Amino acid sequence: MESWNRMSTDSVRSHTPDGVNRKIDARVEKCVQAMAEQMDRPAISEYLRKLEHEWDLNRVVTVAASAVSVLGLVLAAKDGRGWKIVSGVAAGLLLQHGLFGFGPLSELVRALGVRTRKEIDLEKFALKALRGDFERIPHEGGPLARANAALVAAQS
């Protein structure tokens, strides 16, 4: 399949190692190709509902850093031995992520395969295109051609 994911302005993708980006893109391609082969509208709709509940990178980073920060404050109140530093580091990582859109915590979460909202939305739009929500997808050609057209349409 030709390269379809051209989100070069995405700071997360630009700071993520190419191998991680390729792995995430391959997972999307595999799903969209499987749906293109089946062309089962109810299955596509069910998977779209699942995607609506998928946590994106920003949400995971925010929850993780906040939880560590609160944990550090709770432990500092009980023990007091340097646990405030844990809270400070977590808050700093969250601030860095908020200012720059990426940081060490983001890199760790990204390596676990967590996707950005743009990447999740791209898959959703490709699946909606396959389901017939858009008129730009040709009905002729094989599943691979339809999957590729759906991914390209979702980018534009």
Which tens digits make up the pLDDT trace of 25-81?
A: 999 999 999 999 998 999 999 999 999 999 999 999 999 999 999 999 999 999 877
Dump pLDDT digits (tens) for 37-47: 998 999 999 99
Q: pLDDT grade, residue 2 (50/70/90)?
A: very low
Domain boundaries, the chain: 15-54+116-156, 55-114
Amino acid symbol at 135: E
Q: What is the pLDDT of residues 124-135, one digit of tens each?
A: 999 998 888 877
First to last CA, the chain: 17
pLDDT of residue 8: 54
Residue 5 confidence class, pLDDT cut points 50, 70, 90: low
Q: Taking the CA atoms of the chain, what radius of gyration do you get in angstroms?
A: 19
Assigned token pair, 39: 């062309």
pTM of the model: 0.78
